[in-house]
Amino acid sequence: MNNYKHILANSGVQLDKYFFFDGELGAIYKKESTEFRLWSPIATEVKVRFYGTGSDNEPGARVLATCPMVKNEKGVWSYTAVGDLAGVYYTYLVTHPDFGERETADIYARAAGVNGNRSMVVDLSKTNPVGWDKDERILFDRPTDAIIWEVQVRDFSYDESSGVSEKHRGKFMAFTEHTTLYGKEGAPATCVDYLKELGINCVQINPFFDFGSVDEASSADQYNWGYDPKNYNLPEGSFSTNPYEGDVRIRECKEMIKALHEAGIAVVMDVVYNHTYSGVGSWFDISVPGYYYRYNKDGNWSNGSGCGNDTASEHKMYRKFMVDSIMYWAQEYHLDGFRFDLMGLHDVETMNEIRKALNTLENGEKILMYGEAWDMFTACQPGTIMANQKNMHHLPNNVAAFCDNYRDAVKGNEFEQHSCGFVQNGSRRNELFRAVRAETDFWARTPSQAVNYASCHDGRTMYDKLCVSVHPNNPQYDKRHEDIIRMNKLAAAIMFTSQGIPFVLAGEEMARTKLGEHNTYCSPSKLNRIDWNRIVEYKDLVDYYKGLIRLRKFFAPFRDHTEGTIHKGMWLFTDNPTGAGYTLEGEAFGKNRKMLLLFNGAHHQECFDLAAHGLTNWWDALVNQEEAGTEFIGEYSRVICVPPTSALILIEQDDIDF
């Protein structure tokens, strides 16, 4: 640790002032030559070493050459190798007075061998699948048009019930298959075909960059969510059919994205720039010791992330790295959006630079950007403004944050398993109304800045949380509970009619369970996997979600990205604090329509006196406790009684052709 105390004076401000370099870094490939560039201003010597394979355990493994690099005035070391080096593996040998010579992969590497320990020179044009030149992003005119379904690559198709071929289960290529339950003819659709039927138009895929917690060379059944970055600019090898060949994972990742685009589904990449898999000995640590991370005053590593280290986005060369990395993924992989893990650990200047860079692409302002804007302690430079909820006014309206108040208002405190929210017992009504307004009275300027969610990969699944909070002594997660299904439907009705960007965990709509486990980041695949049998067992819940998604798409005011719609509505409350409702008005189907939304979180009927609020006309129901969609399922007027634990959503009567 004394070494780090000694070099801290060289980090941050001094290196930024004298050695900031705005040019291209990494392996700059051309068919006739490749130039290697590494920024390491405090190194005394750097060499590039070439290998015949990605590891020493492969046939033909040997060192091809070790060549000295030359340093320029900005601290960039370079070496140009003549000839076509595509497929050649390489590392850097970096010498520092306090650490001696250490070997590192290239932090800018775009390809690597098995387990990512050796970078690889790649001809990216040869990694493009057939038709890649015609692949186009799926972009939304407004962020609130997105309906986001969060999934992990392995979870998606690991189970045999997915119908995916055995060789592709748990892999990128699973997304390219047209599948049914167990692959049986005439059975319900699964995987991507299922998502199309459900109405999902955007998937957020948990980290699929190269992460360090899974041994790609092992055939054992390993699992990790992937929030352990090792090589940021290349896909994870365990999701490919061949992790040894550096170009295979790239091609298959592009195949996945292309298949989703062909299905009309946008792809959001979950990115984790706030920490790395390890601090000591990471590629960043070896390249420039003490620079890329934050340290406490005593020289210890800052750990706001809870993962052992915090990266320093306020340092110009790490900020540049983040911008370069995002732009590379956006351009080379045609990505449609980025979700920033622990965004609150990054500074607003960096997030604004990323947004500004994306905006330079064709329709780039429509590329989604959102993240976890939690307010977390980290040892950043004094005066740094962090990208957390209280500072959202420093970010543009097309940068959004997850709304934890929405989550807790709907189903109770995430960190207290027995805590309840509105759907369990009608509590937290005031918090709920703050949430359905997309926090526009609090930290969000507009609904486009708020991502509404009741479940995600963190914490318990929706079904498990409801089970343990309502039946604490005997949750029976593997059983169907009719009361829990009603609560789940009510939560969905609130979600898809709220202002903001709707977000659901994959399988929420089929009562997905992880048997009550709240942190399954490294649990067995069998616990994390999606059990596609549940689309049959919980068909009523799936259909309810499907109908609500269809309704959200039809009624534009639900998707208003400004704060205009929600503040024009009328609020309705019952005498008891367990019932609440409001009106929305706006254009739908070419006419100015009024929608009435009534929610009852109680275990008894709640009645709303519409006439007392001047609402004397007749209403057609589109959603009740059993059905949801765009078909009329009953008519109401004056006094409307909503059954226990349910929603009733209605539209003014008129001759409307849905």
Q: How many CA atoms lie within 13 A of 609 on its CB side?
A: 6
d(CA 384, CA 382): 6
d(CA 139, CA 303): 36
Read off the DSSP letter of residue 381: P
Burial bucket for residue 184 (CB in 10 Å: 0-12, 13-18, 19+): exposed
Q: How many CA atoms lie within 13 A of 140 on its CB side?
A: 24
Do the bridges between strand 229-235 and strand 189-190 make them parallel or antiparallel, or are there none, so unpaired?
unpaired
Q: Dihedral of the CA atoms 535, 540, 544, 550 (nearest 10)?
A: 60
**Closest C-alpha to 25, from 275, 357, 288, 324:** 324
Contact 623, 548 (CB under 8 A): yes
Read off the DSSP letter of residue 129: P
Exactly one of 159, 228, 336, 341 is catalytic; which is it?
341
Query: Is residue 341 among the annotated active site residues?
Result: yes
Which residues lie closer than 8 Å to 52 by C-beta, 6 or more apart?
60, 61, 62, 63, 64, 88, 89
Which residues lie closer than 8 Å to 123 by C-beta, 6 or more apart?
29, 31, 84, 86
Which residues lie closer than 8 Å to 611 by C-beta, 6 or more apart?
638, 639
Exactly one of 145, 336, 372, 464 is catalytic; which is it?
372
Which residues lie closer than 8 Å to 41 by C-beta, 6 or more apart?
15, 18, 19, 74, 75, 288
The phi and psi torsions of 642 (rounded to 5 degrees) equal -100, 125
Do the bridges between strand 337-340 and strand 368-371 make them parallel or antiparallel, or are there none, so unpaired?
parallel
d(CA 592, CA 529): 44
**Closest C-alpha to 23, from 320, 291, 283:** 320
**Closest C-alpha to 249, from 130, 385, 129, 84:** 129
Count of CB atoms within 10 A of residue 10's CB? 16
- Residue 528 tokens read as 């994390």
d(CA 501, CA 452): 6
d(CA 518, CA 498): 26
Query: Is residue 145 among the annotated active site residues?
Result: no
**Closest C-alpha to 361, from 326, 399, 317:** 326
Read off the DSSP letter of residue 55: S
Q: What string of H, E and C letters represents the secondary structure of 139-160?
A: CCCCHHHCCEEEECHHHHHCCH
Residue whose token pair is 């990790």: 224
Residues that are catalytic: 341, 372
